[in-house]
Amino acid sequence: MFLSTTKLSLSDPTDQQNDALLSAARRFWIYDMDEIPPSYVQATAQDYWAIVARYVPSRDLCAAALVSKKWNDIFMPRLWGNPASHFGTQNDFVYVALVRFKRTLSWARLSTRELTHTLQMPPAHAEIYDGPHSDWVQSLLERLPKLQSLIV
């Protein structure tokens, strides 16, 4: 698309189409130029860590949460929000991670446990692990007060 001050050329459109497109382009540019750009304070006040946190790999979330209080506040919800999403997919690793997670719940602070909103138990071979026991699930429900979704 080529834009000139007199016509907008799109592989031989009619003059009426050219005029309509040019008029729309001018309105857009005038609107854009009339906007006041953000001040330095406004532009730098964005929480860029919230944007970056999505891209931190699961294996690095623990280390990132230990850097400082601010980083802890940023990365702990990602780590604890849906902890099973970090367990992997291989049955042995999933089972070990679930057992460690259950043990962690006994000494983790309430404020930390309250960050967990979803717990999805990845499928495991029933003939090997016999699924989660009812007392195990009951323990999870008692220790995760803000759990909204338990997917078994």
Give pLDDT tens digits for 4-23: 444 444 455 566 666 666 66
In terms of DSSP H, where are the helices of 4-144?
15-34, 40-44, 48-53, 58-65, 69-81, 91-107, 110-113, 126-129, 134-143
Assess whether pLDDT exceeds 90 at residue 111. Answer: yes
User: What's the pLDDT tens digit per position in 58-72?
Assistant: 889 889 999 999 999
- Domain edges within the chain: 2-35, 82-151
Q: Are strands 8-9 and 118-120 parallel, antiparallel or unpaired?
A: unpaired
Question: What pLDDT score does 107 carry?
Answer: 92
Q: What is the pTM of this model?
A: 0.60
Q: How far apart are CA 144 and CA 142, in angstroms?
A: 6
Q: Are strands 118-120 and 2-3 parallel, antiparallel or unpaired?
A: unpaired
